Structure 1
Amino acid sequence: ADPTVRNFSYTILDDKIYYRENSRMTPVEVSATAENRIKGMIRIRDTVRNLLEIQTEGFPDDQIQAAQKKLNELYDRFTAKYGLINSRANVSAFSQDSSFSLLSALEILDEEQNLERKADIFTKRTIKPHVPVTSVDTASEALAVSLGEKARIDMDYMSSLCGKTEKEVYEDLKGVIFLNPMYGYGTATEPKYLMADEYLSGNVREKLAWAKRSAEVYPDDFTVNVEALERVQPKDLTASEIFVRLGSTWVPPEIIQQFIYEFLDTPRYAQWNIKVHYSQFSSEWNIEGKSYDRSNVKAYSTYGTNRINAYKIIEETLNLKEVRIFDYVEDVDGKKKPVLNAKETAIAQAKQEQIKQGFQDWVWKDPQRRELLCKIYNEKFNSTRPREYDGSHIVFSGMNPEIELREHQKNAVAHILYGGNTLLAHAVGAGKTYEMTAAAMESKRLGLCSKSLFVVPNHLTEQWAAEFLQLYPAANILVATKKDFETKNRKRFCGRIATGDYDAVIIGHSQFEKIPMSIERQIALLERERDEIVDGIRELKENRGEKF
């Protein structure tokens, strides 16, 4: 194959059309009219690519204008003879070319699919060349450049920019960046330095504990961490602000067990056999030895009935179930059928309400227990400080200079780049498409990914492609069509995704569903689920003494 021809693209050799697919150049046999259409679009495509290239390289305006003039002439001549590039005949002829989305984006269409205007590339510079920064005056400027170019704090790079040592840079930025107490522990992926917005967010209680331990050994390095983290600790909630009910899974089983013993006056000998367990696997409470305390009046009369004792009622309450009493009668086939006993159920539910109220009256009464529960609750549910992302430093290399992202869009891109999983919950029209597009292109530029996959509603794939190329005119994207996911073409298209050097791949929901999960991943998922089930069964056996 000709190395100058992009994969999955048409080309002209000796006035004949060929299509490159991997290492093969296949002659294209079509009608004379279709051949002329393809040749015309190849010339437009190559001119567009050249125009994008010289813009990226920062060529002078006169050369860019000359290329734009050539593009206008080719486009006008082609459309006068064969119609819009987005017309059905032209789409049919050229849609297999990997750059068809680029050609399609040359036309801005109205709702009736008529030409509204030509794209900006015909008359404007749509790519601003990226000029790398080689020197700055301050450590703060060096930090901004490092985040923009590397997506991380690169001390060597920052030192080279501002001419200071690592120690000097850190001293200048102390409070803006922090030494990571986790550096050198556990995984080797922990960075040495962290930005303040990252370090002073998340589980700040856990981070404070780490910082205090580190400060005891290295006070000069980590005292500043302790002071900063103490300032951002969430205010502890008091007992009056915490709602706890019988069945709250954050309450330790020992507390529930203590309540049962005290509330029902469980005899000392019975306490050896009546134990409370909670399974993390099944999220289920279990009271072991429910029937052991048979002589307890409170268990069988005051807070229980002759049909269900208080221990069983408490177990049902812990599992957030309403108590129900059933009688079993035989049907005509001799099978036992449950029938709700309304009277006994009403009595049992009244006892259940008494127990619930008893727990509310008991749980906060003891000062030590109140302090313990408040501490557990605050550590578990009141430890997280949301991170606020700032995208003002992001470079957005290759973005259309005619488009300026808003502040919230830049911050959203920063959230995607640095925050892992991200939900963009903006209102309609707030610019989510541009946010995702910019994040994908920045992720590739920074080496965070090789290509991004966008799964969108089926009817929006072409619109997505147009907006993607509007923001990044030089982007190399692959857009799936309905034809690509027909049974005979599916593997071939997946091969294009795998082997093509695309910036992004855009496919529809229904098409994504047809891409199978790899056997290796299926096996790994099944093995993980199996291990969880086995561990859960083991725990249930230990708690209940049951055999499975």
Structure 2
Amino acid sequence: MAFNRKQRLRDNIEAIRTAFLLDREQRTPTARERLLLERYCGFGGLKNILNPARELTDAVHWAKSDLELFAPTVELHRLLRENTKDETEYKRNMDAMKQSVLTAFYTPPEITGTIADVLHEHGIRPDRVLEPSAGVGAFVDAVLENRPDADIMAFEKDLMTGKILKHLHPGQKVRVQGFEKIEKPFMNHFDLAVSNIPFGDVAVFDPDFSGSKDPARLSAARTIHNYFFLKSLDAVREGGIVAFITSQGVLDAPTNAPIREYMMNHANLVGVARLPNNLFTDNAGTEVGSDLIILQKNSGKNGELYYNEKLFVQTEQTPIGTSVNGYVWSIGSLSHTDLIRSTDPYGKPAYKLLHCGDIAQLAEDLREHLKIELQQLDRKLYERHRLHPTKEGSTAAEVQPAPKTEKVSPSVIAPVSVIEPVKGVEKPQAQPIGEKPEIEPRQPNHSSAVQLTLLDLWGMPIEEPVKKKKAAKKESKPKPMPSTPKPQVKVTPPVEAAKPVNGNKEEKPENAEKPNAPDDIYATLDWETNPPINGFYETMMSLTAERRKALRLEAERHRQEQLKKMGIKDTLNPAFAPSSDNMDKKPEQTEEIKQPETLAEVVPTSETVATSLFPELETEKPKEEVMDLSPRPFNGLLEPHHRDGSMVLDASRNLGYLKDLTPYGATFQPLDLRGYQKEKAMLYISLRDAYERLYSHETENHTEHKPQRGYLNTYYDEFVMRYGNLNARQNVKLVMMDAGGRDILSLERAEDGKFVKADIFDRPVSFSVESRVNAGSPEEALSASLNKFGTVNLGYMREITDTTEEELLGALKGRIFYNPLVTGYEIKDRFIAGNVIEKAERIEGWMEDNPESERMPEVKQAWEALKEAEPQRIAFEDLDFNFGERWIPTGVYAAYMSHLFDTDVKIAYSASMDEFSVACGYRTMKITDEFLVKGYYRNYDGMHLLKHALHNTCPDMMKSIGKDENGNDIKVRDSEGIQLANAKIDEIRNGFSEWLEEQSPQFKERLVTMYNRKFNCFVRPKYDGSHQTFPDLNLKGLASRGIKSVYPSQ
């Protein structure tokens, strides 16, 4: 079927209308709507959209052959304008359509189906498919027909085509952006890359290519078709297939030899098919040569190429002087294809391939050709590196199953605002002391957090905990405990040996008193009625890190003094190694305090306190679990501000950072931070997320988000209270570990040597916050309106002055004018500015069309102000007319030259080329003799010199001064001829002013009016800026940079 431009344009309009409807209603297309969307064929070959079509008057710029498309094109513009939110989005869509005119040639579905079927028949059954230039998804449909469960990622840069593609394939990964945006996790990922890629000398910005040291990759970034091949080879995994339809330049251009050599060094050649030039005739109405190239990635090649691969790199010379790929020349063309000698689009000799049958016959011929070519496919290579299929929506990081993560016991008490409490954990029950198992030595816990025990706060040597007896009982026979008995130490002399323990009871004098430690913060508490367990945690959590550290130092000092008085070694010294000689001795052998080693068994060190403040209540030591630091898919919530390197918490509250971030997921890399550092990092993440959410919401919606601002202040205050300022030296390193850390550091600013909160903690910074203004006069109200809205807003001015509109207009008469062209008031500085002559004429036309308008007095006043502001008219005598000026009509020049040459001379001017063209009815003696300049190689008559006079140029005349050794002329400039030509040209140019002086007054008046209306019509605006305010503008800071005062244009 022949290409029908009008029908194709109509199909495109209906498809676009359907896509906008689906966007508004947020639903999937019905069967009928899907048919309308599938008829979209792009704008390749529809060059009419390049013509202006915003108004009906634009039809004068259209060629007669395109006028039948003018009405649909106007409808297309109206459709886009009605369904885009602003002019910027409308222009972006139109620009994308215009750019696709030369490249958007969609492949017939019969061809895409044949390619997919042949690959499927030869064992290419991909799980992951890449379509880097999808169009409306012809290849996507073909792949899904053979592989319905395939996970397809389709790129489409054209905005409208991408919108339609999304509606046609809602279940696939459709990305409306350029192929160069593909992320690194998708490299070496896909089983198959198949597409009809764009072509042309269009550069692509990709740092991996433009910054590469490989000449082939560097060169590929300059041409889009070469880039698509090399980038797709990066994207497919080992053994993966790249099957692209592309222009013949990839294979035939001798300059592309490095690109083809790169392909053969990194991939195996599977097959090539030279497609006929009339492949796209029915869909796009154009004839263009194209090739189907199929490669199989093989990065392990040793650099030696097979014979066919060498032919693929080389080019041959044809009888007509063109280049053709050596491999294409060897395999020939498809069946039923004729080779015709013709020309390329640039008029150069070229061969053209035309298929004699219809599209179905062409698809069948292609199928037979590919069956032969795909015998070179390495099936074992394809299967050897095949990845296991993943669920829909998985990323490259989800290829391997995520290992199970064991829960790690926290080494510090988590802050309430950051770490959620563990639910369902029962409170441990106290057990008799006698039933407690022996405490084993713990591994050191290198946590930077300050750990305290209750006894540390008391500042006492540690005694054997005993159960307080209620009344004295008869002493029973001692019963040995399973472990070494723990002596009791008393600080009051004389020192007595500890009595043996009987069960869970102990004999103790009732009147024994223990002196209070100097830093005993619980000395005033009644332990009988208020034991430590009641309120101890509340007291501990109210202590700051600095206070806890001070108490610990005081306790240590007091402990050292007590040890010195009693003459006991410091068993808390890490260098002290307790002996194991007496571990199995009976309790009777330890009555005297002569073995400090036994103290080491009961003294809870900082390591033992890390998991429990009351070790005597523990029944079993928890096993230290090893954290799994292996990367795994991130199972938390991805937010818009997340990027590679962002610190996050996964669903199990494990700390780590993101890498390989894509729109479909990311990889979570755990961090081995524990205790104090982990607590700090978790609070930082809460602070960062609160800031990002607040700023994003207020930027997008221009409304204040008070609750989120409250969260930001809460997290910041808590962070500063616990760890100090964000910019403090101990915190900067942690903050900079996060990808957005530099932004978070800007939440503080330095004032007077201290860090204070930035403005965002108090008010929005992405938009201006409204504040109540009370104006004392109409002038102040006008300034406030201009400062806030940039225009005269009478409603706002009435609110802030409590006056009527009539009173405001009367007070501001002469300062504001009613402009009927914009249907509103404008200040004098803006209204009386620009082309005042044209503006006055347009307002005068409005007055003629609306004689009964109630605004007529105001409009007339504005018109009179414009007339008074018109610049003083310049007379004919004050003007200097130059021959060849573009503003003077060409008819004036033609009349002058007809008078000078005594013949009818015609002159035309092309504004787009900025060039004059001249012609005459017949050549007179003045043209052929009087204004003739003879040169060595050619003569220049009057018409040639006229054209140079109009352009104010001079002919470049050459002459010969002899012969060189090869018999060629030695050329130099003919200075005499050039001088004579300049004299003739000056005679033509200077005579123009004299000729104008001889014309009638009416002619001169028309010329003067034309000049004044075109050039002497502008009034420069004079803004004083008195209505503008600049909050927090530092004028002294400007002075330090050389700006001493604000000048008028500011």
The answer on 1:287 being equivalent to 2:924 is no
Shift of 1:351: 1.0
- Which runs of 5 or more structure 2 residues have no equivalent in the other structure? 1-634, 698-703, 1045-1049
Q: Secondary structure at the match of 1:231?
A: helix
CA deviations over 1:297-333 (Å, ceiling 9, x no partner): 3x33444446322232121111121133457999999
CA deviations over 1:23-79 (Å, ceiling 9, x no partner): 9797552342886774464366479789999xx8999xxxx9999976755664666
Report if aligned partners of 1:18, 1:25 keep a CA contact under 8 Å in 2.
no
Task: State the alpha-carbon separation in 1 of the partners of residues 1034 and 1015 from structure 2.
Answer: 35
- Amino acid paired to 1:211: I
The aligned counterpart of 2:841 is: 209
Match of 1:276 among 902, 907, 911: 907
The aligned counterpart of 2:857 is: 220
The alignment of Structure 1 onto Structure 2 pairs a total of residues equal to: 377
CA deviations over 1:156-209 (Å, ceiling 9, x no partner): 444454455555544443432222232xxxxxxx44332322211111121122
Match of 1:261 among 889, 898, 904: 898
The aligned counterpart of 1:94 is: 738
Match of 1:384 among 1003, 1009, 1018: 1018
Note closer, same or farther for the CA distance 1:348–1:3 as it changes in structure 2 (3 Å cut). Answer: same
Report if aligned partners of 2:949, 2:986 keep a CA contact under 8 Å in 1.
no
Q: Secondary structure at the match of 2:940?
A: coil
Match of 1:29 among 670, 673, 680: 670
- Amino acid paired to 2:784: V
Shift of 1:275: 0.9
Note closer, same or farther for the CA distance 1:296–1:123 as it changes in structure 2 (3 Å cut). Answer: closer
Report if aligned partners of 1:245, 1:356 keep a CA contact under 8 Å in 2.
yes
CA deviations over 1:234-276 (Å, ceiling 9, x no partner): 23334455443212111111221222123x1x44xx32xx211
Note closer, same or farther for the CA distance 1:286–1:131 as it changes in structure 2 (3 Å cut). Answer: closer
Larger RCO, structure (CA 8 Å, separation 6 or more): 1
Task: State the alpha-carbon separation in 2 of the partners of residues 156 and 136 from structure 1.
Answer: 13
Q: Secondary structure at the match of 2:670?
A: coil
The aligned counterpart of 2:1009 is: 375
CA RMSD of aligned residues (A): 5.1
The aligned counterpart of 1:314 is: 946
- Give the TM-score, by structure 1 length: 0.54
Report if aligned partners of 1:105, 1:119 keep a CA contact under 8 Å in 2.
no
Query: Equivalent residues in 2 for 1:65-144 (5 A)?
Result: 73=721, 76=724, 82=730, 85=732, 90-91=735-736, 93-95=737-739, 97=740, 100-104=742-746, 106=748, 121=757, 130-133=769-772, 136=775, 138-144=777-783
The aligned counterpart of 1:541 is: none
Report if aligned partners of 1:37, 1:82 keep a CA contact under 8 Å in 2.
no
- Amino acid paired to 1:282: M
Report if aligned partners of 1:203, 1:383 keep a CA contact under 8 Å in 2.
yes
Q: Secondary structure at the match of 1:148?
A: helix
CA deviations over 1:364-412 (Å, ceiling 9, x no partner): 454444433332222222222233345544566xxxx5x22669x9xxx
Note closer, same or farther for the CA distance 1:330–1:260 as it changes in structure 2 (3 Å cut). Answer: farther
Task: State the alpha-carbon separation in 1 of the partners of residues 656 and 796 from structure 2.
Answer: 47
- Which runs of 5 or more structure 1 residues have no equivalent in the other structure? 109-114, 183-189, 410-425, 432-438, 440-548
Query: Equivalent residues in 2 for 1:365-444 (5 A)?
Result: 365-366=998-999, 367-389=1001-1023, 391-394=1025-1028, 403-404=1032-1033, 430=1043
Task: State the alpha-carbon separation in 2 of the partners of residues 32 and 284 from structure 1.
Answer: 74
Note closer, same or farther for the CA distance 1:80–1:221 as it changes in structure 2 (3 Å cut). Answer: closer
Q: Secondary structure at the match of 2:883?
A: coil
The answer on 1:350 being equivalent to 2:983 is yes
The aligned counterpart of 2:825 is: 193
The aligned counterpart of 2:556 is: none
CA deviations over 1:77-127 (Å, ceiling 9, x no partner): 6666646x3x6x743x112x3x7424246366xxxxxx9955553799986
Q: Secondary structure at the match of 1:32?
A: coil
The structure that is helix-richer by fraction is: 1
Note closer, same or farther for the CA distance 1:168–1:365 as it changes in structure 2 (3 Å cut). Answer: farther
Report % sequence identity.
21
- Amino acid paired to 2:995: W
Task: State the alpha-carbon separation in 2 of the partners of residues 279 and 382 from structure 1.
Answer: 25
Note closer, same or farther for the CA distance 1:340–1:395 as it changes in structure 2 (3 Å cut). Answer: closer
Task: State the alpha-carbon separation in 1 of the partners of residues 885 and 656 from structure 2.
Answer: 68
Task: State the alpha-carbon separation in 2 of the partners of residues 239 and 119 from structure 1.
Answer: 70
Query: Equivalent residues in 2 for 1:24-63 (5 A)?
Result: 27=668, 29-32=670-673, 38-39=681-682, 41-42=684-685, 45=688
Task: State the alpha-carbon separation in 1 of the partners of residues 1029 and 637 from structure 2.
Answer: 32
Match of 2:817 among 178, 182, 187: 178
Report if aligned partners of 1:48, 1:71 keep a CA contact under 8 Å in 2.
no
Report if aligned partners of 2:648, 2:655 keep a CA contact under 8 Å in 1.
yes
Note closer, same or farther for the CA distance 1:256–1:119 as it changes in structure 2 (3 Å cut). Answer: farther
The answer on 1:147 being equivalent to 2:789 is no
Q: Secondary structure at the match of 1:94?
A: coil
Task: State the alpha-carbon separation in 2 of the partners of residues 146 and 18 from structure 1.
Answer: 51
Task: State the alpha-carbon separation in 1 of the partners of residues 664 and 779 from structure 2.
Answer: 49
Report if aligned partners of 1:68, 1:121 keep a CA contact under 8 Å in 2.
no
Note closer, same or farther for the CA distance 1:47–1:18 as it changes in structure 2 (3 Å cut). Answer: same
The aligned counterpart of 2:955 is: 323
Task: State the alpha-carbon separation in 2 of the partners of residues 428 and 300 from structure 1.
Answer: 67
Query: Equivalent residues in 2 for 1:515-530 (5 A)?
Result: none
Note closer, same or farther for the CA distance 1:12–1:145 as it changes in structure 2 (3 Å cut). Answer: farther
Note closer, same or farther for the CA distance 1:134–1:430 as it changes in structure 2 (3 Å cut). Answer: closer
Task: State the alpha-carbon separation in 2 of the partners of residues 244 and 119 from structure 1.
Answer: 68
Match of 2:874 among 200, 223, 237: 237
CA deviations over 1:337-370 (Å, ceiling 9, x no partner): 9875443332222111222222243344544444
